[in-house]
């Protein structure tokens, strides 16, 4: 089978990506810039900025003189490589062989793939239109060689599909820069009057090597197909997936449980060997009527225990409708985490949250009543009480700060609820307060504790907090908002103590 390649060039990769993330820049004249040798140089310019005279490589000071409303955004090193990799991974749906060519191009080996889209024309149109619909200014070309496809995609304006064997004709009218040569060789070619590749093709190789070195011959050979080119291909991370086809359709719960156990046994061996544990697993059941049903589990801590994960899935089997029968089971683990090897010892200490038994118990409880009802809270570095706690991402997450030394209620109301208060002196604690039409007479009180608002986040009044206890022995956390100015001060109930 003859090799065919596609090159996809993104003419404004970084600016297109930034405009997608910040819609206010979509029609603006903006550039990305970075410091280079005591000067700030434009690394990428939007189409609107280029039309006004701001180009890549220009100093920002000169560009500001040419474009009055120029918006300058700091460039992030390595951003182009990350974007190209993500776009390349997205193109794997069209071909399994994709390579990144920095700074703005993707290279695809499309041999044997184009017939699925009705030919090379439909294949090229499908990819380019999808990229443009996503917001990227993309252009593509197809040829027998990577070099020819790259040259046509970057510099040709017509005929993006080069017919087999016609790469020499396709590149002959293009400038020497289409051969991916370095600046030194291009400058030498320009001084000698070479404005296109055609005259270079007619010269003997010995003369080209003597005048321009071996790089020019290498690039010519790669473009014409006399020298093979092997770019570094993108490698997709291997997903944690196990498949189990069935000789006979499975129609009952015991059969489904056996299938799950076999899938888990195979998957957990791999997870254990790599020192990882499953945090989320999805079971997909493909029925013989063409429909797919699925269910999933989550864990508080990574696990590669077959018995534990099987117990969690057994709670979900009742939700699976086999109908006429299931012919294929697929178990996917989209989320894993690193696991530490258990320490072997002759005696056991109190492990607390590190106890696997506790994690397995929480998993079983979450499987019955839902994972959203189990939460663990950690302190957050904020003065404002509503922001002083956060939900832990997992049972093993460590706090980044200590809990406040001051007394805080077990239950915090968010937002605080307005109450009616009577105080003898404005700065004194209340004698009683009314909440939800119920009067609470205060027997004991402690305070005030003033908490200022975080001015760098929002503006507003400070709060004076009191810990109060009513005659029934219930303790509350109440506060007055702002200074007492002679009018009716606003009081709020913010929490309940245990």
Q: How confident is the model at residue 374 (pLDDT cuts 50, 70, 90)?
A: confident
Q: With DSSP H G I counted as helix, E B as strand and the rest as coil, what are the percentages for the chain, rounded to 5?
A: 35, 30, 35
Query: Is the domain of 345 the same as that of 257?
Result: yes
Q: Is residue 152 part of a domain?
A: yes
Mean pLDDT across the chain: 87
CATH number for the domain that contains residue 337: 3.30.1490.100
Query: Is the domain of 340 the same as that of 465?
Result: no
Q: Is residue 273 part of a domain?
A: yes
Lowest mean pLDDT among 17-31, 107-121, 134-148, 478-492: 478-492
More confident residue, 172 or 342: 172
Q: What is the pLDDT of residues 319-347, one digit of tens each?
A: 999 989 999 999 999 889 888 765 444 34
Tell me the residue range of the domain where 451 lies. 411-496
Range 172-192 average pLDDT: 92
pLDDT at 381: 80
Question: H or E segment at 218?
Answer: helix 214-224
Domain end among 224, 248, 274: 224
Per-residue pLDDT for 358 more than 80?
no
Per-residue pLDDT for 354 more than 50?
yes
Q: Is residue 135 part of a domain?
A: yes
Query: Is the domain of 219 the same as that of 252?
Result: no
Query: Is the domain of 195 the same as that of 87?
Result: yes
Check: CB of residue 430 under 8 Å from CB of residue 421.
Answer: yes
Q: Is residue 391 part of a domain?
A: no
Q: How confident is the model at residue 396 (pLDDT cuts 50, 70, 90)?
A: confident
Percent of the chain with pLDDT over 90: 46
Peptide bond before 448: cis, by omega within 30 degrees of 0? yes
Residue 145 is given by DSSP the state S
Q: How confident is the model at residue 149 (pLDDT cuts 50, 70, 90)?
A: very high
How wide is the angle at C-alpha 446 spanned by C-alphas 440 and 451, nearest 5°?
105
Per-residue pLDDT for 351 more than 70?
no
CA distances, 242 to each of 230, 292, 338 (Å): 32, 16, 20
pLDDT at 126: 94
Half-sphere exposure of 94 (CA within 13 A, CB side): 29
Range 429-440 average pLDDT: 91
Query: Is the domain of 316 the same as that of 249?
Result: yes
The first and second tokens of residue 59, run together, are: 């100093």
Query: Is the domain of 86 the same as that of 218?
Result: yes
Query: Is the domain of 86 the same as that of 208?
Result: yes
Q: Is residue 121 part of a domain?
A: yes
Structural domain count, the chain: 3
Query: Is the domain of 116 the same as that of 188?
Result: yes
Q: Is residue 35 part of a domain?
A: no
Per-residue pLDDT for 109 more than 80?
yes
CA distance 427 to 484: 8
φ/ψ of 469, rounded to 5, equals: -130, 130
Lowest mean pLDDT among 34-38, 152-156, 242-246, 433-437: 34-38
CA distance 338 to 304: 11
Q: How confident is the model at residue 27 (pLDDT cuts 50, 70, 90)?
A: confident
Range 213-236 average pLDDT: 89
Range 311-315 average pLDDT: 92
Q: What is the pLDDT of residues 119-146, one digit of tens each?
A: 999 999 999 999 999 999 999 999 999 9
Q: What is the pLDDT of residues 263-302, one digit of tens each?
A: 999 999 999 888 899 999 999 999 998 889 999 999 988 8
Q: Is residue 361 part of a domain?
A: no
Domain end among 194, 224, 254: 224
At residue 441, the 3 state secondary structure works out as strand
Query: Is the domain of 317 the same as that of 439?
Result: no
Domain end among 224, 254, 277: 224
pLDDT at 353: 64
Per-residue pLDDT for 108 more than 70?
yes
Per-residue pLDDT for 61 more than 80?
yes
Query: Is the domain of 88 the same as that of 216?
Result: yes
Distance spanning both ends of the chain, measured CA to CA: 77
CA distance 471 to 444: 8
Q: What is the pLDDT of residues 407-417, one digit of tens each?
A: 788 888 888 89
Check: CB of residue 146 under 8 Å from CB of residue 5.
Answer: yes
CA distances, 409 to each of 46, 86, 154, 352, 413 (Å): 53, 47, 65, 24, 10
pLDDT at 452: 83
Q: Is residue 337 part of a domain?
A: yes
pLDDT at 408: 83
Half-sphere exposure of 299 (CA within 13 A, CB side): 30
Percent of the chain with pLDDT over 70: 95
Question: H or E segment at 282?
Answer: strand 276-287
pLDDT at 346: 39
CA distances, 206 to each of 188, 215, 224, 428, 463 (Å): 17, 13, 17, 99, 85
Query: Is the domain of 161 the same as that of 286?
Result: no
Query: Is the domain of 219 the same as that of 254?
Result: no
Per-residue pLDDT for 220 more than 90?
yes
How big is the chain by its Cα radius of gyration, in Å? 34
């Amino acid at each position: 089978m003859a090799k065919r390649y596609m090159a996809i060039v993104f003419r404004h990769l970084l600016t297109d990506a930034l405009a997608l993330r910040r819609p206010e820049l979509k029609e603006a004249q903006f550039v990305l810039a970075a410091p280079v040798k005591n000067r700030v140089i434009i690394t990428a310019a939007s189409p609107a900025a280029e039309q006004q005279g701001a180009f890549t490589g220009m100093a920002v000071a000169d560009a500001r003189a040419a474009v009055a409303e120029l918006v300058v955004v700091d460039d992030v090193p390595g951003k182009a490589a990350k974007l190209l990799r993500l776009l390349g991974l997205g193109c794997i749906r069209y071909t399994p062989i994709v390579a990144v060519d920095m700074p703005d191009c993707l290279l695809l080996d499309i041999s044997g793939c184009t017939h699925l889209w009705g030919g090379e024309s439909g294949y090229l149109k499908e990819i380019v239109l999808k990229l443009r619909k996503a917001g990227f200014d993309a252009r593509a070309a197809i040829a027998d060689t990577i070099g020819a496809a790259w040259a046509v995609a970057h510099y040709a304006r017509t005929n993006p599909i080069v017919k087999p064997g016609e790469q020499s004709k396709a590149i002959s009218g293009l400038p020497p820069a289409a051969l991916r040569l370095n600046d030194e060789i291009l400058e030498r070619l320009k001084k000698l009057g070479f404005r296109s590749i055609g005259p270079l093709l007619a010269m003997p190789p010995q003369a080209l090597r003597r005048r321009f070195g071996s790089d020019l011959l290498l690039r010519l050979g790669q473009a014409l197909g006399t020298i093979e080119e092997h770019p570094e291909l993108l490698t997709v991370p291997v997903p944690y997936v196990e498949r189990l086809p069935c000789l006979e359709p499975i129609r009952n719960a015991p059969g489904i449980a056996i299938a799950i156990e076999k899938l888990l046994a195979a998957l957990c061996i791999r997870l254990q060997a790599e020192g990882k544990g499953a945090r989320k697993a999805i079971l997909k059941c493909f029925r013989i009527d063409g429909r797919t049903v699925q269910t999933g589990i989550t864990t508080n801590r990574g696990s590669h225990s077959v018995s534990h994960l099987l117990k969690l899935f057994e709670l979900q089997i009742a939700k699976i409708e086999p109908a006429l029968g299931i012919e294929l089971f697929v178990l996917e683990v989209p989320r894993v985490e690193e696991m530490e090897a258990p320490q072997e010892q002759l005696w056991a200490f109190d492990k607390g949250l590190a106890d696997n038994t506790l994690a397995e118990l929480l998993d079983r409880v979450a499987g019955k009543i839902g994972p959203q009802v189990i939460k663990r809270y950690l302190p957050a570095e904020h003065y404002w009480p509503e922001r002083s706690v956060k939900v832990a991402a997992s049972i093993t997450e460590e706090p980044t700060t200590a809990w406040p030394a001051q007394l805080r209620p077990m239950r915090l109301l968010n937002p605080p609820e307005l109450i009616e208060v009577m105080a003898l002196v404005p700065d004194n604690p209340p004698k009683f307060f009314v909440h939800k039409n119920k009067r609470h007479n205060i027997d004991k009180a402690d305070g005030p504790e003033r908490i200022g608002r975080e001015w760098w986040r929002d503006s507003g009044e400070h709060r004076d907090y009191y810990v109060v206890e009513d005659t029934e022995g219930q303790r509350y956390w109440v506060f007055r908002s702002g200074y007492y100015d002679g009018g009716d001060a606003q009081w709020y109930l913010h929490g309940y103590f245990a």
